[in-house]
């Protein structure tokens, strides 16, 4: 029996050079959503922030560099890693949420799509290479991967470039404490259809959207700065509600994906999860293993973390971390041929998804 597999054949990432450490927020004035000034010292705010999120520093895109640029940088690296002719790509799918926003600008440029701009930068002439964006919150890259897999299984393409790119520093309100979470970055993979006697690559998935009470847990809103009359909208979130939602919903979605794969939880070698909050990820991991009555037997190093140095780069988090591991940039983590790994994410929508993948 031959299997039609969806397999990652190349990876790439781009981490901006501008490093912003927590100390750079010590003298920043922060306000609540009611525009009331937070009177705690900068030192206390930063210390509490680090204790909760685990973030020590984050990366911001350089002046003159935008989301479409870093998406191209990551894509170009993935194409070179895969050793393919870019003219053979059937689709370019870019997960992003805010388009291109110039530093200091107040307007998002969403047309043409980020994917179209990437195709242009790659100088791909093939008109049958279709380029489009996916807006799905932080789980966007996983959703784009799910779409690529669906097209392959439907016989509607053999090679896909799947990118996650975001420049959240351009849409963050500096008067909002939550702005310290956000970062910029891009990750990309080349995905191929491959026939073999063994089932590998993309094995199974789960996905869901909760939009009744949860739709505005992440939203666009005005600055928290006192007496401000500006009309610019920034990324905003209800942190406590997101935390509670994630702990309640994500572990079961992870379990559904794993159960659908036919593999056992003890077969998992790595869980590559979206990283917005270190403590939240650790709590979700614990609850996931608890669903199998194994909360006291969680394997060491099962969940690689990059949030301390890279912050939350939304859709870029997972493909960037995957690229780092595969290229030996995290010495304590390896993915070997045949390893069963999980991708999982949660974000604006509220949306959740997960993939089980056999390397």
- Residue 105 confidence (pLDDT) above 80: no
How much is the pTM? Answer: 0.94
Compute the distance between CA of residue 13 and CA of residue 321 in angstroms, rounded to an integer: 9
236-265 tens-digit pLDDT: 999 999 999 999 999 999 999 999 999 999
- Residue 106 is predicted with a pLDDT of 75
53-99 tens-digit pLDDT: 999 999 999 999 999 999 999 999 999 999 999 999 999 999 999 99
Q: Which two tokens stand for residue 181?
A: 């979470």
pLDDT-derived band at 5 (thresholds 50, 70, 90) equals very high
Compute the distance between CA of residue 249 and CA of residue 208 in angstroms, rounded to an integer: 10
Number of Cβ within a 10 Å radius of residue 254: 28
Please, what is the average pLDDT of the chain? 95
212 CB-near residues (< 8 Å, 6+ apart)? none
- Residue 210 is predicted with a pLDDT of 97
271-302 tens-digit pLDDT: 999 998 999 999 999 999 999 999 999 999 99
Domains observed in the chain: 3-196 (3.40.47.10), 201-358 (3.40.47.10)
- Residue 353 is predicted with a pLDDT of 98
Compute the distance between CA of residue 61 and CA of residue 190 in angstroms, rounded to an integer: 23
302-335 tens-digit pLDDT: 999 999 999 999 999 999 999 999 999 988 899 9
- The CA-atom distances, in angstroms, between 144 and each of 21, 43, 140 are 31, 40, 6
335-348 tens-digit pLDDT: 999 999 999 999 99
Dump strand ranges (E) for the chain: 3-14, 18-21, 57-60, 91-95, 130-134, 159-167, 184-196, 201-209, 218-222, 233-237, 268-273, 340-347, 351-358
Number of Cβ within a 10 Å radius of residue 290: 13
């Amino acid at each position: 029996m031959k299997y039609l597999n969806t397999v990652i054949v190349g990876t790439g990432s781009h981490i901006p050079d501008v490093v912003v450490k927590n100390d750079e927020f010590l003298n920043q004035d922060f306000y609540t959503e009611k525009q009331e000034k937070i009177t705690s010292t900068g030192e206390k705010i930063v210390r509490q922030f680090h204790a909760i999120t685990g973030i020590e520093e984050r990366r911001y895109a350089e002046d003159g560099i935008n989301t479409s640029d870093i998406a191209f940088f990551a894509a170009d690296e993935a194409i070179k890693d895969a050793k393919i002719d870019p003219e053979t790509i059937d689709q370019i799918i870019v997960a992003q949420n805010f388009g291109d926003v110039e530093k200091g600008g107040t307007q998002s440029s969403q047309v043409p799509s980020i994917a179209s701009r990437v195709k242009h930068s790659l100088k791909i002439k093939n008109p049958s290479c279709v380029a489009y964006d996916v807006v799905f919150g932080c789980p966007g890259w996983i959703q784009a991967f799910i779409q690529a897999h669906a097209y392959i299984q439907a016989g509607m393409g053999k090679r896909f470039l799947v990118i996650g790119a975001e420049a959240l520093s351009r849409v963050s309100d500096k008067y909002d404490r939550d702005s310290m979470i956000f970062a910029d970055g891009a990750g990309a993979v080349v995905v191929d259809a491959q026939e073999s006697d063994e089932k590998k690559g993309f094995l199974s998935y789960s996905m869901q959207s909760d939009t009744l009470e949860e739709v505005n847990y992440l939203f666009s809103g005005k600055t928290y700065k006192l007496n401000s009359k500006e009309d610019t909208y920034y990324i905003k979130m209800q942190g406590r509600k997101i935390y509670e939602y994630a702990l309640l919903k994500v572990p079961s979605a992870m379990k559904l994906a794993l159960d659908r794969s036919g593999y056992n939880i003890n077969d998992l070698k790595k869980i590559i999860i979206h990283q917005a909050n270190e403590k939240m990820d650790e709590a979700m991991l614990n609850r996931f293993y608890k669903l199998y009555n194994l909360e006291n037997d969680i394997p060491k190093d099962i969940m690689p973390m990059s949030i301390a140095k890279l912050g939350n780069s939304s859709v870029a988090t997972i493909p960037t971390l995957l690229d780092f591991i595969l290229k030996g940039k995290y010495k304590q983590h390896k993915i070997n041929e045949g390893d069963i790994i999980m991708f999982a994410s949660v974000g604006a929508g509220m949306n959740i998804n997960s993939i089980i993948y056999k390397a």
